[in-house]
Copies of this chain bind each other. A is one copy, B any other.
Amino acid sequence: MNEIEIINYIRSAFKYSKLDDDVAYLPDKTALKVDMLVGSTDAPPGITFFQIGKKAIASAISDFGVKGVRPTYGLLSYAFSKNLSDKNIKDIINGTKYAAKKYGFKLVGGDVNESSDLIVDCFLLGTYKNQVTRGGAKEGDIIYATGEFGLTKAGLDHILLHQHIDARIKRLALKQVYNVEPPYKFAVEAIESGYINSSMDSSDGLAYTLNEMAFQSNKSFIIDKLPLSETIYKMLVYSKRNVYNDVMFGGEEYQMVLTVGQNNATFIEKLAKKNLTVIHKIGHVVNGEPSVFFREGQKLNIIPKVGWINLGFHTV
């Protein structure tokens, strides 16, 4: 079984339970989330142990943000392998501590184990005002994505497959790969505004994310702009990257994809500006078969639901 098949098996085994997609909204305005970092698959070569600790928290926070949940309490389960030095272990712990402070939750418990693989499993409890799903996009909604796409795939291809990239883009790309920093503050404020009709974090890749939202909303998504700045676009082209591929079929971006009614688009853009969050208007929602298209002039090309397949950083 692959990961998706296993998840489906769990869903059917626990069918008496309610399993939400990104976070578990409980009836009393609290929500739960767990996200596990595994050393052999989630820690790319070159990342520091401090950054690993930060990433373990940030990837859980990413889902909390796009679902409008503010974390209150956390529990952390660590498993360390024997080959880690005391300094490595302390750096990981300090990375988690740094991120816990940054995102403002208290650690109230945890577990420490020994294992052949490095594990940092982050469990969060938080509070929310409004729920938002992947499936609430409405006809006429504007589609936005935060952040600069394309850099992460260029960076990972450089790290894992040794593909050459120019020095300037390399610096930006590695920064993005190693320092996971979701647009948490903007995301949570956007959801709390009540204006967002659907949202999801982009960690499985932009094409996958857009398709998930389109299918669960039963709408067509028309994309006509890629979420990256002109400067970065040019830098990627200069490094002979296939920019469209890098943007659509990357993954690990931990950005926010959202849809919002036209009347509230200005509010969202202002909110992003206030939070210094880069945001790109990339398309709009229409009635039609659930699918995602990229429009070039009059031509509509299907964007397939191809996701970020995590093959294991250390085994590639």
Contacts and interface: CB of A to CB of B under 8 A. Distances in A.
Contacts of A76: 10, 34
A73 interface: yes
A38 interface: yes
Given A10-B76, A114-B310, A114-B312, 6 more contacts: A6-B78, A9-B90, A10-B78, A20-B108, A34-B76, A77-B121
Interface of A: 1, 3, 6-7, 9-10, 13-14, 16-20, 23-24, 26, 32-36, 38, 40-42, 73, 75-80, 86, 89-90, 93-94, 97, 100-101, 106-117, 119, 121, 123, 125, 310, 312
A123 B75 contact: yes
B1 A89 contact: yes
A76 B34 CA distance: 8
A311 to B, nearest CB: 9
Given A14-B97, A115-B117, A109 B32 contact: yes
A97 B16 CA distance: 10
B38 A109 contact: no
A133 B106 CA distance: 20
Contacts of A17: 100, 106-108
B73 A34 contact: no
Contacts of A10: 76, 78, 93, 107, 110, 112
B111 A35 contact: yes
Contacts of A119: 36, 79, 115, 117, 119, 121
A20 B109 contact: yes
B114 A36 contact: no
A13 B75 contact: no
Copy number in this complex?
2
A19 to B, nearest CB: 7
A107 B12 CA distance: 12
Nearest to A314: B116
A2 to B, nearest CB: 9
Contacts of A75: 24, 32-34, 123
B93 A24 contact: no
B112 A6 contact: yes
20 contacts: A1-B86, A6-B78, A6-B80, A7-B112, A9-B89, A10-B110, A14-B97, A16-B101, A17-B107, A19-B109, A26-B108, A32-B125, A33-B75, A34-B110, A34-B123, A38-B113, A41-B114, A114-B312, A115-B117, A119-B119
A106 B18 contact: yes
A115 B38 contact: yes
Given A40-B116, A115-B38, A26 B107 contact: no
Contacts of A7: 112
B79 A32 contact: no
Contact of A26 (B42, B73, B101, B110): B73
Contacts of A115: 38, 40-41, 115, 117, 119
Contact of A117 (B16, B42, B100, B116): B116
